[in-house]
Amino acid sequence: MQDHSVGGSVAARFKRRGYRAAAGIGVLGLVAAGALVGTVPAGAQAVSHVKTYLACEVTDTGGLNDHSFNASAWAGMQAAKKAAPKGTTITIKNASSSSSADYVPNINAFIADKCNIIVTVGFLMADATWNAAVTHPGQHFAIVDNTNANPEDGSNTLDPCPGPSCKPSAPNLLGLTYDTNQDGFLGGYEAAATSKTHVVATYGGIQFGSVTIYMDGFAYGIDYYNAHKPKGAKNVTLLGWDEETQKGTFIGSFTNPTAANAQTVTFLNAKARTIFPVAGGDGLGTTAAVKTWNSSHPTSKANVEWVDTSGCSNDAPDCSIFISSVTKGVTASVKAAVLLQVSGKFKGGNYVGTLKNGGAAFIENTKYSVAKTVLNELKVLSTDIIKGSIKVPT
């Protein structure tokens, strides 16, 4: 590979848009990355009798078995239960939301159940979680894919901002966020470096920041490949997202695999052969479309980069079409949040998962054939992102 500074128009674009380094979000106190992603924090006190704790998860509308962050969060709850310190028992419960109207009742039911910590999943639950945290300051919460800041989006009527009663953050809420633009970058680079048609594609479920951060990273990885590609190689085109205009293709939900299937077919007909669905359960529509395509196009097969979790672990029947997975450490961060509660060291603030601390991870499918040169390039790029010599915008 050539040198790893972002070159030419790509560098100018980054500068023009005024981006900062991906790790710019603060990590507060006991939720520093090294303390959070792991087991029980050092210094947790031993107990002489059994203490019982109740940890509860409220899913968004994707449901507990969404093959994405709801399922990963539940896996984190289960892992925390297994890792309970000596003398401690952790009981876990979950409530699935069929619609957004279920968020508040589900949270309130768990407050009534006296859950020691309530974990809500997804940006869609930001308002309900924030209002519950402000109304019940003694109740501890963690939210996946969102910060502990006031949503300030008009739906929060308890302490609107700006205003004299505005509370900028909730001290009893731990935000679990992930710089998935970093591993998204690696996914974009791999998609571009392995493309035979010089066209790849991505789409989102709904246009939230926790979705578009993946798509931005994917686009930047393609930009980087185009700026550093081998002599004589063609530029790779990305369908479905423009990081400059922040406009692209969205299904409108995370629970419509039929629409996702149709959109994937459109991308395949436009010569895209790697599809990156950032859409939770919608991605199952993409895998179905790709398998159908491959069965009738044996000389022009397509593949999928899975999102949030390991595709081969969470959707084993489709493992053969996953080239890689662009993931976030939801399981590890939820596990650690619960264990912080149990240890008595829970503290509101924000955790940021990165490639460096394991809160974001790019997972190769070792059963999928990728050229060793590309794999070696990805290792170098990952190291450079971790060291900071490549700063992926966010």
- List pLDDT tens digits, range 35-86: 454 333 334 444 346 799 999 999 998 888 887 889 999 999 999 999 999 9
Question: Do 213 and 299 belong to one domain?
Answer: yes
How sure is the predictor about 256, in pLDDT bands with cuts at 50, 70 and 90?
very high
Q: What is the pLDDT of residue 15?
A: 41
Find the helix or strand (DSSP H, E) in which 364 lies: strand 360-364
% of the chain beyond a pLDDT of 90: 76
Q: How does pLDDT run across 134-155, given as a tens digit for each residue?
A: 999 999 999 999 999 998 776 6
**Spatial distance between the Cα atoms of 148 and 103, rounded to a whole number of angstroms:** 17
* Residues 209, 318 within the same domain: yes
Q: Does residue 76 sit in the same domain as residue 170?
A: yes
Q: Please state, rounded to an integer, the average pLDDT across all residues of the chain.
A: 88
Assigned domain for 17 exists: no
CA atoms within 13 A on the CB side of 232: 0
Q: Could you tell me if 32 and 89 lie in one domain?
A: yes
User: CA-to-CA distance for 220 and 326, rounded, in angstroms?
Assistant: 14
| Nearest to 106, CA basis, from 85, 121, 91 | 121
Q: Is 109 helix (H, G, I), strand (E, B) or coil?
A: helix
58: left (phi over 0), alpha (psi -120 to 50) or beta: beta
228 shares its domain with 151: no
Task: For residue range 359-375, list pLDDT tens digits in order.
Answer: 999 999 999 999 999 99
Q: Please give the single-letter amino acid code of residue 339.
A: L
> Are both 72 and 110 inside the same structural domain?
yes
Question: How many domains are there within the chain?
Answer: 2
Same domain, 165 and 190: no
Which tokens is 278 given? 């950032």
Residues paired with 150 in a beta bridge = none
CB 182 within 8 A of CB 217: yes
Claim to verify: residue 167 and residue 282 sit in the same structural domain? no
Enclosing domain of residue 252: 180-329+355-386
